[in-house]
Amino acid sequence: MTAHGHHLHHGKTPGGNSSPINSATGKAAPTSPPATSSSTDGKGSSSNRKRRRRRRGLLIGPAVWAAFKEEQKGVTRTLLGFDDDNAFRKEADDTAAPPPEGAGEDSGVENETMEEELRRRRRRLQEEQRRQRPVPRTTLGTFMVETRSRSPDMEAMVPIMKSVGKTCTAVSRLVRRAQIEGMAGLHQDGGGGGAAGAGSESESVNVQGEVQKELDVLSNSIFLTGFCQPGGMSCVASEEEETPRMCAAVVGDEKHGGEYAAVFDPLDGSANIEAGLPCGTIFGILRASGSAREGRKAGPSTVVLPGRRLVAAGYCLYGPSTKLVFTLGAGVFEFTLRGEVAQGGAGEGGLGGGELDFVLTRSNLRIPRSGNVYSVNEANSVSWSEAIQDYFQDLKTTMATPPSSADGGGGGVDEEAAEVENQYAGALVADIHNVLVNGGVFAYPADVRNPNGKLRLLYEGNPIAMIVEEAGGIATTGFEAIRDVRPQSVHHRIPAFFGSPDDLLPLLDPRYLHSKKKR
């Protein structure tokens, strides 16, 4: 009894010869053709099979047949570095199945043709791999060393940017652990620190009048140390603190100093963490004023400078992946944290023990000329000026117009209006990254409650403006370029619009000016 409970028995082939038939398959077992069978009579099995294989392009030898079958399973061999043709052929020979019955004497020429085709396919696959990602993967450390070799004046920026990467890694780990380890809630200052009307007396409130979360305080401490520790930095100014601080005081070394100053928002969108939504860090680096470089006390004048004075700007995005996007004044670069966030302590004031492993994922990032996404809190639209309301209404109409219609071509009957979306995450970093990659507009207009705007110029507006402009976009208050605004204080606020040039240029149209000035 065979498998499946059937007997092997004999049947008759169409030609009348006895041939074993396997009932498991229902097919006759193969037999050798009679020696007298003609290969040219139109019925011979060998010639017929040759014709069929030739039509299918499969008249090939055993080695190439095995290689071809391997390729059909996927691109595994290419991905594993099977780049050498001789090695590929040897592996194919070692694992080759018996030649397909009927491979004739002329298969040598066909083999060469098929091998050449396989080589072309491998080359196309390898080229596609190279187009899809930078090769080799460049780490942040390598990138900064190469930048220094091209621009010796970037010497001091190398340790600073390496430390930024390490600090972002530490904060990313904090964000991911927050709810598990009970750090997503409000920060308690031990009592007596709360402002009237800001909550219970034990809640900690920052200089903005905002109730602080535990992660706000921890992230602030980590970034203070991260900017000051490597050297080259004289002072730092944070959203969470009223005045700038000398790095010498932060690290406890009176001789510590440098030529740069840092401004930063340590954790933008911290309210998103409990809901599992993205948040981020924003930073800018500029040359410090003389008093800070000379080691004297840091005051507001140290960092209260126009955005054109920035020498570097960036942000860290903590979402499905951790990204570090920055510019040093010559292009915008995106790095992504590779693998799991490294283990190691990242408590208050610590930077964690993991190795830096940010790798370059986008070079010279450019914002699209236009997009179909706008990012704004439309719940506030009733408080906007009439001009801003008109602008967004026009923007949505323009975004929805098919390209040929927008170009004056009238549009075709089959052309559908583009889908326009308002994608607002409630975290500046997340919304800006979306617009930077996909095009469109991010806006935080002035309104009745915030007539001067809400974004902080020094450590939110200016760094983001530098990145957007370097990527080919526009950053404006609606009246002037954000980086041209002269700040009046460390926490100076502005209205802000960032995005694709074709989408934002209409906002600067003179027809909006009259109503904008009346708001």
pLDDT score recorded for residue 35: 47
pLDDT score recorded for residue 206: 64
Cβ atoms within 10 A of the Cβ of 358, count? Answer: 26
pLDDT score recorded for residue 226: 94
CA-nearest of 301, 219, 342, 289 to 490 is 301
Q: Which helix (H) or strand (E) holds 282?
A: strand 279-287
What is the distance, to the nearest Å, from the Cα of residue 407 to the centroid of all Cα atoms in its chain?
Answer: 32
Cα atoms in the Cβ-side hemisphere of radius 13 Å centred on 47: 8
Pairing of strands 332-337, 322-327: antiparallel
Are 512 and 491 a contacting pair, CB within 8 Å? no
Q: Which helix (H) or strand (E) holds 120?
A: helix 107-132
Cα atoms in the Cβ-side hemisphere of radius 13 Å centred on 411: 12
pLDDT score recorded for residue 355: 52
Are 85 and 116 a contacting pair, CB within 8 Å? no
- Residues in the chain, overall count: 519
> Which DSSP symbol is given to 134?
-
Are 321 and 310 a contacting pair, CB within 8 Å? no
pLDDT score recorded for residue 98: 54
pLDDT score recorded for residue 36: 44
Q: Scan for tokens 């009733």, then name that residue.
A: 382
pLDDT score recorded for residue 17: 46
Q: Residue 329 has which token pair?
A: 């004044």
Q: Residue 266 has which token pair?
A: 């340590």
| Full DSSP string of 422-469 | E---S-HHHHHHHHHHH--EEEE---SS-TT-SEEIIIIIHHHHHHHH
pLDDT score recorded for residue 203: 63
Q: Residue 491 has which token pair?
A: 């926490």
Q: Residue 227 has which token pair?
A: 């900017």
> Which DSSP symbol is given to 338?
-
Measured CA to CA in angstroms, residue 81 lies from 118, 123, 138, 155 at distances of 15, 12, 19, 37
Ranges of the chain with pLDDT below 50: 1-20, 23-25, 31-43, 54-59, 75-85, 87-88, 91-92, 96, 191-201, 341-354, 408-413, 517-519
What is the set of domains in the chain, with CATH numbers? 46-132 (no CATH), 140-362 (3.30.540.10), 373-409+416-517 (3.40.190.80)
